[in-house]
Structure 1
Amino acid sequence: MTKRKPNRFEMTFLMMWHGVLTGGLLLTYVSGDDVYFLHQFAGYVVCGALLLRLLVAFIAPKTSPLSLSMPKLFDSNNKGRSPIYAWMAVGMIAATALAAFSGLLAETIGFDDLHEGLAEGVLPAFIFAHIALVLLKPLAKKVGNISADEVAQAKAVATTLTTKATLAVRRIKPYLTSKQTP
């Protein structure tokens, strides 16, 4: 079954959901441990947005753009979006969900390191890649039909960049979180 273009309601929902999720992520990032109540509140907003999106995906008809389906790696018959967009969405939502829900368990079970690693290393890498894909949309459509070797090379580069970003955050974090006395 092919998906159709979103109607006005679906597009409004997607844009509002995207705005709430982005606002929540931005608020969690800028508040951090300094304003912890605000950080927690924004984290709950992100978790709620993710749960709402999942609920809507199960309720929506299969042909709706709101339904979730596993993207194909290569789809030469698809005249719409490149599969790269779908895979980016899967990775970004998974990383966001892991960061958000590990944040809920950070204090009680001790998922602090996992939460901070995802939130400060992996998630920004996905956000950067998402913005890059949006800005390079015309090129991304052509990249949809790449070979398996090129996919493996791109995956290796992405893994290396994510690892380097995570290590950089770990090195810088002690300097950012240390309390200096006047």
Structure 2
Amino acid sequence: MYLKEFKIQLLENSRISDKVRDKIIHLKQEYWDYPYESHLKWMEENIREDEYHLIITDSMDEVIAYLNIVNVSLTLNNSGEEVMGVGNVCVKKSYSGQGIGRLLMGISNYYINSFGKRGILLCKQPLINFYEKCGWMKYEGEVFLKDKKYDGAVMFTEYLNTPKISIEREF
């Protein structure tokens, strides 16, 4: 299925409708096999009112691509920095391979830049190449997520040369 018409929206969490939230959850279920209620609870507990959902919808108003953008506090060399965290990146499987994921990430890069902050995302090793193609750089230092050692990949929108970072929340 090819996308002929689409709409891009950056929606503040406080303004998202139940209908759009339902569509986001159904898309996320294509990748993360959790019950609807678990996805809903995660969103309620982890996406604050002033944080964002970035969606791409097709001509039938179905959500075909999604990610969230949230505020994240990092500790770098004993000093704090506020960054924008990108999470839950997904594209409807029937649209896979058409460049929609790269489009979504390009739009997120634009918004992160407009906020004047560095971007961060956590990903699995097989996705590093995709995110590098989207302009992100792999962090090579030691990472702690909520005070526990994190072994997954961490990517940034800018090169980060520090031996250790600590991330205060999941996203």
TM-score range, shorter chain: under 0.3
Say which structure is richer in helix. Answer: 1
TM-score norm. by structure 1 comes to: 0.24
Question: Which of 1 and 2 has greater Rg?
Answer: 1
Give the structure-2-normalised TM-score. 0.25
The structure richer in strand per residue is: 2
